């Protein structure tokens, strides 16, 4: 899996790293049980500070995407709690939809966009 961050983005590097890993999981590029590079390896691979990688891994662990194993390091281990996931999605989506409404994005455009993005993950 290729991890890329945009050093010119306003989005924090640890958030970009988190999002890249989550996208990799959603697109089946990395799967349950796969080990991520060590903090040091990931920092070298992406060209960012080890503390930045550590922060991303810590949050991914808190959110139930990885577990930390003494021997294997960070391992993809999805903590499937659908109700909690839906609640978090609702919080994030509320702001995104408010931004869209301010720009006159229609309900139909939102539905089409969601369908297009969801289709990228090959899920039903």
pLDDT in tens, 60-97: 999 989 998 888 899 999 877 777 888 888 999 999 99
pTM above 0.85, yes or no: no
- Domains in the chain, ordered, with CATH? 13-76 (1.10.10.10), 82-120 (no CATH)
* Residue 121 near residue 27, CB atoms below 8 Å: yes
Rounded Cα distance, 68 and 74, in Å: 5
Buried/exposed code over 76-112 (b: 16+ C-beta within 10 A; e: otherwise): bbeeeeeeeeeeeeeeeeeeeeeeeeeeeeeeeeeee
* Per-residue pLDDT tens over the stretch 30-67: 999 999 999 999 999 999 999 999 999 999 999 989 99
Describe the crossing of helices 107-120 and 82-102 by its angle, rounded to 10 degrees. 130
- Give me 75's structure tokens: 């391992």
When computed from its CA atoms, the radius of gyration of the chain, rounded to whole angstroms, is 16
């Amino acid at each position: 899996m290729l991890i890329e961050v945009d050093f010119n983005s306003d989005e924090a590097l640890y958030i970009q790293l988190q999002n890249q890993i989550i996208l990799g999981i959603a697109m089946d590029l990395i799967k349950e049980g796969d080990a991520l590079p060590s903090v040091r390896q990931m920092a070298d691979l992406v060209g960012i500070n080890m503390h930045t990688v550590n922060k991303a891994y810590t949050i991914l662990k808190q959110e139930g995407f990885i577990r930390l194993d003494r021997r294997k390091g960070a391992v993809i281990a999805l903590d499937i709690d659908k109700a909690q996931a839906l609640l978090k999605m609702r919080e994030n989506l509320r702001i995104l939809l408010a931004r869209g409404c301010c720009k006159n994005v229609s309900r139909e455009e939102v539905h089409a966009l969601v369908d297009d993005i969801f289709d990228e993950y090959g899920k039903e």
